[in-house]
Amino acid sequence: MQAVAEAVIDPSQKTKQIFLHDPDDHEVKLDLVEYWRSITKRKWAIIFFGLLVALLVGVIVFAMTPVYRATTTVLIESNKSKVLSIEDVYSGISSNREYFQTQVEIIKSREVTMKTIIALKLWENPEFDPRLKKASKIQELIAATGFADEIVPKEWTEAALAESAYTKFSKQLSIEPVRLSQLAKISFESTSPELAASVANTLANTYIENDLEARYKMTKQASTWLQDRLSSLKGKLDDSERGLQGYREKAGIIDLKGASQAGAGKQIEEVTQRLIETKLRRAEAENAFNQIKNAGKGEDLSSLPAVVRNTTVADAKKQEAEAERKLSEVSQRYGYEHPRYVAAEAEVKAAKENVRRQVDTVVSSVTREYEVARGTERALEGTLSVAKGAVQGLNRKEFQLGILEREADSNRQMYEMFMKRAKETNVSGDLQSAIARVVDLAVQPHTPVKPQKVQIISIALVLGLFLGMLTSLLLDRLDNTVKTTEDVEGKLKQPLLTTLPLLSKTEINRTSSARLFLDNPTSLYSEAIRTARTGVLLSAIDAPKRMLLVTSSLPGEGKTTFSINLAIAHSQTKRTLLIDADMRRPAISKGLGLPPGAKGLSNLVSGTGTLAECIHTIEGSHLSILPAGTIPPNPLELLLSQKFKEALQQLSGYFDIVIIDSPPVELVSDALVIGGMTTGVLYVVKAMETPYQLSRKGLQRLRRANAQILGVVLNQLDFAKAEKYYGEYSGYSKYGYGKKGYQGGYGQQPYGSQPEAAPELAVVAKAA
């Protein structure tokens, strides 16, 4: 939040006031510094409170029973090798982190802890024995009044005792997995170190034994189930094998897949091969037969392919061709009648006859071969058809046989598998090994873990100091009094006229404090009074006469002492009159040592005394005093009267400065009546005691009564404390005005005034 400097000019007072504030009219402060000042202000109280809390906690801690902790380390082997695998029967051991966490939870399970409690008989230990507990005072009181049945001792059994110890046992037990390992730490806390070590070790062994027992029971259960299944499977296998053998005997099958089916298949294969060959020969014979059949009568058949391919016909044709060649040679030499020609001709005829006979023979053989091939083909086709029918019959029988064989094989395999698993289960039950083992046994601890006295006391000390600091901050937040000059301008929204220091014990009485300006003119208090005098003179520098009202919110704020000393200060340079208008509790006469019953303001206004009789002087000063006089029954009516106004006008004609000490604003309304008749009001606020809301309310009431407020006087301020704890800077120590600082006097310009010089003002007063 950005701070803004604002100059406010009051035309009636011809002064300029400078305030430092933010746009929201909040003070610009550093909170951390304020917090530190609040803490240092009550540092001894905070330290005492912290030490007191630490002391009380220390007494409690040393009175507590020490608690010991023993720890057993267990290794959970998730990848432990097994002799035989029977995962198909029940789940095997997993190697993942879920398995490890599961084992840790099993260690903490109710079953394992109850077995440990029973094994150690913890109820016999006084720490876990519920029979030692007595009925509470409230229960006894209720039973004594008759509103409840009489308390009857409970009959305890071992089960009830173990159940009663379980809750406390679980609270004192802790299982902690070791990160990135397969180790688990089993810890138990007890007031007895021997019991703590014994419980930790017993719990680890109980967990291992419980695991072995659980897996043994599981193995036995699986074995029993396998035996039951084997009995039923054995019966099914026997029934299926008997049905298979009966079908073989009924169908007359010795070995269908061996001899029978193999012979039928071989026969079909041979017949089929022969049929193919016969069909080829028949086709060839049929082709030749068709060629011969299609030849016309008288046509030479020797040129047919079937005849030409015949070797006998070919030899006959060669002989014919040779005879014709010889005949051709003989005809060239000899005539037709030559014996050689005749012989050659006869040889040609014989050769042709031989060719014809051979051709006829071949034709006849082709016809016979064709008919034979056709017959053979039909015979083979019949044989093949018979063989196929036999094979089809065998296939139908084989199909039914296959069904029976598969059923028998399935029952046999199931029986053999269960027989194997049953044997494995029996063997694995005998060779069962633990999945966990104890790595480090617990030993009896020598040092308790609870309570950690030093740590608890240290924490208590820190918390005590912290609570003390918070309390100090809270008190400062709840403190609504005016503590510094900044509070005057920030909270009361009024200029600061002066700040009066806190008087010592020797100066605090009424008589000595009233004459402090006369008796000790060089004191810090006197310098503050001079600052107030300067502020009053400069507030309206052109006004020849001034009538000032001094008031406060409540009694005891020091307004009367301030009025007397301010009047004495003005009397050194001006004709000054001090009027005691507080006719309910007059104090000026007592402070200045006037005789009791001296006439004063009430006598002057009522006419029972003259001005000379009512005005008194103070020895050692030029100050004139108008005491309260005889106390009237109703002072407010006296102040509201016209005679009182006329008296003030008359007195203002005789004196340059008239200072009126009036009652507090919050008690009576006298100050409101007088304030409108004066030229200015000085409002006294007691530092660190008067709530600022009350002072602000009084100032508002005065403004509504048309009173002109010149400024606020902050009274009884401890400068050393304010500077140390509230950051109230003072400069009097730099100018040699004592050990107590003061923000004002020389070097201060609260609202635009110049530093006071008493000799110069005296010269001005004489000139006037």
Of the candidates 532, 586, 588, 537, which has an alpha carbon nearest to the alpha carbon of residue 564?
Answer: 588
CA distances from 448 to 58, 65, 192 (A): 16, 10, 10
Q: Which two tokens stand for residue 477?
A: 């937040």
CB of 279 closer than 8 Å to CB of 375: no
Q: What are the E-state strand segments in 555-623?
A: 576-580, 616-617
Tell me, yes or no, whether 37 lies in a domain.
no
Q: Do residues 662 and 621 share a domain?
A: yes
CA–CA separation, 401 and 470 (whole Å): 98
- Residue 85's pLDDT is 47
Q: What is the pLDDT of residue 515?
A: 81
Instruction: Note the pLDDT of residue 22.
Output: 45
Q: Which of 440, 467, 502 is the last residue of a domain?
A: 440
Average pLDDT, integer, range 556-579: 91
Return the pLDDT at 658.
94
Distance, in Å, from the CA atom of 290 to the CA atom of 280, rounded to the nearest integer, reads: 15
pLDDT at 742 over 70: no
CB atoms within 10 A of CB 311: 8
pLDDT at 37: 75
Residue 73 pLDDT > 50, yes or no? yes
Question: Are residues 333 and 265 both part of a single domain?
Answer: yes
pLDDT digits (tens, 9 = 90+) for 481-494: 887 788 888 888 88
Do 211 and 98 have their domain in common? yes
Q: Which of 473-487, 532-546, 692-706, 750-764 has the highest mean pLDDT?
A: 692-706
Residues 419-423 have a mean pLDDT of: 70
Confidence of residue 143 (pLDDT cuts 50, 70, 90): low
Top-ranked range on mean pLDDT: pick from 166-170, 512-516, 743-747: 166-170
DSSP state letter for 256: I
- pLDDT over threshold 80, residue 224: no
Q: Which two tokens stand for residue 3?
A: 């701070």
Tens of pLDDT, residue by residue over 264-287, are 667 777 777 877 877 777 777 776
Phi, psi of 104 (to 5 degrees): -65, -40
536 and 679 fall within a common domain = yes
For residue 340, give the CATH number of its domain: 1.10.287
Query: 70-79, 410-419, 653-662 — which is least confidently predicted?
Result: 410-419
Residue 166 located in a structural domain: yes
- Clarify whether residues 455 and 577 are in a common domain: no
% of the chain residues with pLDDT over 90:
17
Question: What residues does 550 pair with on adjacent strands?
Answer: 661, 682
Q: Per-residue pLDDT for 349 more than 90?
A: no
Same domain? For 319 and 415 the reply is yes
Please tell me what DSSP assigns to residue 514: H
Mean pLDDT of the chain: 76
- Contact between 687 and 725 under an 8 Å Cβ cutoff? The reply is no
Are 473 and 573 in a shared domain? no
Whole-angstrom distance between the N-terminal and C-terminal Cα of the chain?
A: 50
More confident of the two residues 329 and 533: 533
Q: DSSP characters for 308-377?
A: HT-HHHHHHHHHHHHHHHHHHHHHHHS-TTSHHHHHHHHHHHHHHHHHHHHHHHHHHHHHHHHHHHHHHH
* pLDDT tier for residue 5 given thresholds of 50, 70 and 90: very low
Mean pLDDT of 331-342: 77
Residue 167 has pLDDT above 50, yes or no: yes
Amino acid at 390: A
Kindly report which listed range (99-103, 659-663, 728-732) carries the lowest average pLDDT score: 728-732
Per-residue model confidence (pLDDT) at position 160: 87
pLDDT at 308 (0 to 100): 64
The least confident of 392-401, 544-553, 692-701 is 392-401
Verify that 317 and 333 share a domain, yes or no.
yes
Output phi, psi for 421, to 5 deg: -65, -35
Answer for the pair 467, 49: CB distance below 8 angstroms, yes or no: yes
Q: Does some domain include residue 632?
A: yes
The predicted structure's pLDDT at residue 123: 87
Task: Give Cβ neighbours of residue 742 (< 8 Å, ≥ 6 apart).
Answer: 499, 501, 524, 527, 528, 719, 730, 731, 732
In this structure, is the dihedral angle defined by the CA atoms of residues 619, 622, 624 and 625, taken in order, positive or negative? negative
Residues 548, 682 contacting (CB under 8 angstroms): yes
The highest-confidence range among 112-126, 298-312, 393-407, by mean pLDDT, is: 112-126
CA gap 585, 554 in Å, rounded: 13
pLDDT band at 106 (very low <50, low <70, confident <90, very high): confident
- Domain membership flag for residue 14: no
pLDDT confidence of residue 315: 76
> Which of 326-330, 655-659, 704-708, 749-753 shows the lowest per-residue confidence on average (mean pLDDT)?
749-753
CA distance 718 to 555: 20
Q: Select the more confidently predicted residue: 514 or 10.
A: 514
Residue 346 predicted with pLDDT over 90? no
pLDDT level of residue 745 (50, 70, 90 thresholds): very low
Residue 6: per-residue pLDDT:
40
Per-residue pLDDT at 368 exceeds 90: no
Cα-to-chain-centroid distance, residue 207: 34
pLDDT at position 48 is 93
CB neighbour list of residue 690: distance below 8 Å, 6 or more residues apart: 481, 482, 552, 553, 554, 557
Task: Give the pair of three-digit tokens for residue 187.
Answer: 């810890």
Tell me 134's DSSP state: P
Q: What is the pLDDT of residue 461?
A: 92
Say yes or no: 623 and 503 in one domain. Answer: yes
Is 589 within a domain?
yes
- Does the structure show a pLDDT above 50 at 107? yes
Is 494 or 764 the better-scoring residue by pLDDT?
494
Domain assignment of residue 13, yes or no = no
| pTM over cut 0.85 | no
Residue 619: other Cβ atoms inside 10 A: 9
Lowest mean pLDDT among 113-122, 409-418, 586-595, 661-670: 409-418
629 burial via Cβ count (<10 Å: 0-12, 13-18, 19+): buried
Output phi, psi for 367, to 5 deg.
-65, -45
Assigned domain for 135 exists: yes
pLDDT digits (tens, 9 = 90+) for 613-626: 999 988 878 899 99
**To the nearest whole percent, how much of the chain has pLDDT over 70?**
74
What is the DSSP track for 148-202?
S----PPPP-HHHHHHHHHHHHHHHEEEEEPTTSSEEEEEEEESSHHHHHHHHHH
d(CA 599, CA 628): 7
Q: How many domains does the chain have?
A: 4
Which stretch of 198-202, 214-218, 234-238, 476-480 has the lowest confidence by average pLDDT? 234-238
pLDDT for the residue 157: 86
The candidate with the shortest Cα–Cα distance to 325, out of 354, 345, 303, is 345
Is 466 found in the same domain as 496? no
In a domain, 524, yes or no: yes
Domain encompassing residue 143: 68-222+435-440
Q: Is the pLDDT of residue 685 over 90?
A: yes
Quick one: pLDDT at residue 727? 58
Structure confidence at residue 14 (pLDDT) = 38
State the pLDDT confidence band at 84, using cuts at 50, 70 and 90: very low
Band of the pLDDT at 30, cuts 50, 70, 90?
Answer: low
pLDDT of residue 405: 73
- Are 218 and 278 in a shared domain? no
Beta carbons of 15 and 538 less than 8 angstroms apart: yes
Strands (E), 591-636: 616-617, 624-626
The highest-confidence range among 334-343, 444-453, 506-515, by mean pLDDT, is: 444-453
The model's confidence at residue 655, banded by pLDDT at 50, 70 and 90, is very high
Per-residue model confidence (pLDDT) at position 734: 44
- What is the distance between the alpha carbons of residues 407 and 412, in angstroms, rounded to a whole number? 8
Q: Ranked by mean pLDDT, which of 32-41, 84-93, 400-409 comes out on top? A: 32-41
How far apart CA 530 and CA 742 sit, in angstroms, is: 13
| CATH number of domain containing 712 | 3.40.50.300
Q: Are residues 509 and 648 in the same domain?
A: yes
Q: Are 371 and 364 in contact (CB under 8 A)?
A: no
Examine the pLDDT at 672 and tell me if it is beyond 60: yes
Residue 701: its H or E element:
helix 692-704
